[in-house]
Amino acid sequence: MTILYTILIILVVIVAYVVINSMRLKKSVTNLTQEQFIEGYRKAQLIDLREPKEFEAGHILGARNIPMTQLNTRHKEIRPDLPVYLYCQNSGRSARAALTLKKKGYSQLYQLQGGFKTWTGKVKSKN
């Protein structure tokens, strides 16, 4: 019986963690469709959070590459008084980046729903 209770407690903790993280994320970042993203990203700071090799293979025209792995040390390159449009390959890194930036005082945070893999707009690549 104690094994069952232990498993149940673990499941409750996991569900609580997921729900709390989801609520924090919703308060931190606004999801935008590609059309909404296109409407605003030229007036904002467009940040590609993917690693340099991913960025060089193709990125949204006008994007600046600040990999998620470097965000804690490079966040000061992003102005907190201007909107920040974030994207990564599929929205996972951009969601985490939004939480990080929110903690550092950024408030106008937006992410591309579905990430770069769903992008059908203009792309620039080094190849």
Catalytic pick among 88, 95, 109, 112: 88
CB 78 within 8 Å of CB 100: no
Q: How far apart are CA 77 and CA 44, in angstroms?
A: 13
SS3 breakdown of the chain: % helix, strand, coil, rounded to 5? Answer: 55, 15, 30
Q: Give me 83's structure tokens.
A: 């909107």
119 Cβ contact partners less than 8 Å away, ≥ 6 residues apart: 34, 60, 87, 112
Helices within the chain (DSSP H only): 2-28, 34-40, 52-57, 71-74, 92-103
88 is catalytic: yes
Question: Catalytic residue positions?
Answer: 88
